[in-house]
Structure 1
Amino acid sequence: MTFDDHYQLAMTELQGTEILRDNYAPPLHKLLLRLGFSMRPPHYASMPVNMLTTGIPFGILWSGLMWLFVWEDQIGMTVSIALWAGFFAGMLFGIGMAIYYRAAARKHGLSSWTQLAMK
């Protein structure tokens, strides 16, 4: 079974749940698919993959906005402190999102990625 076949089975299963489409096919996920990455929907991805694909963009965006609007003019705030703050914010957000996706998959009784091929 090809990745595209697997992906379509996953999308069909997700559409049969109460989960919103933007939740199981978020914009970053769609972008990575268009760029040629074989990305499982977040509810079928592993915890580390969800941590990285949600935490890294969040940490970069959050620390960049915080630097521009808050930290740039603060005395004692250095770029290295801002980068560490962004790293930890991204890590916490990524962990939270990975836990959320795992809990939502269990709540809605979704199959595992490997079980989809057996249906």
Structure 2
Amino acid sequence: MADCLVACDCGPVNGLSGEAGGRELGLWRLGIDLAPPHFASFWQNFLVVGSYYTVMWGGPMWLLHWSKDGASFNTGLAYAIFAGAVFGGVIAASYERAKRRNGLPAWRDLGRS
């Protein structure tokens, strides 16, 4: 299937064109040019997902729990970075596994950025 998509360059790959109903999705809206997760590298997924999780989980945990328990900011930051690294690694590995299982090419091999 992936060979056909690369060979024919027949437009959006399973609907992942970067636009949905005229509106750009996710980070593309902010002008950040990233491949969809199933086409991105392990490390790109690790950094994007891990960073997002670190901020979006660590921030509320700091505000609602750790600061009230008297933990230092550095301790909270260490917890958040560790959790983000674990979560990012697990999610990136699952995307990489799905990519290999389905024989998906890299985004750049599809003629995308």
CA RMSD of aligned residues (A): 2.7
Residue identity in the other structure for 2:89: I
**TM-score, scaled relative to structure 2:** 0.71
How far the C-alpha of 1:41 sits from its partner, in A, is: 0.9
Other-structure match for 2:91: 97
Answering whether residue 106 of structure 2 is matched by residue 109 of structure 1, we say no
Q: Is 1:33 matched up with 2:28?
A: yes
5+ long unaligned stretches in structure 2 = 1-5, 17-23
- Equivalent position to 1:56, from 51, 54, 60: 51
Match of 1:84 among 78, 100, 106: 78
The 3 A distance-change label for structure 1 pair 110 and 9 is farther
Identity of aligned residues (%): 33
2:41 pairs with one of 23, 40, 46: 46
TM-score normalised to structure 1 length: 0.68
Which 4+ stretches in 1 moved above 4 angstroms?
8-11
Distance 1:105 1:10 in 2: 19
**Gap runs ≥5 in structure 1:** 1-5, 16-20, 22-28
Give the Cα separation in 1 of the matches to 2:10 and 2:60. 38
1:40-63 Cα distance to aligned partner (Å, 9 max, x none): 111111111111111111011111
SS in structure 2 at match of 1:43:
helix
Greater helix fraction, Structure 1 or Structure 2: 1
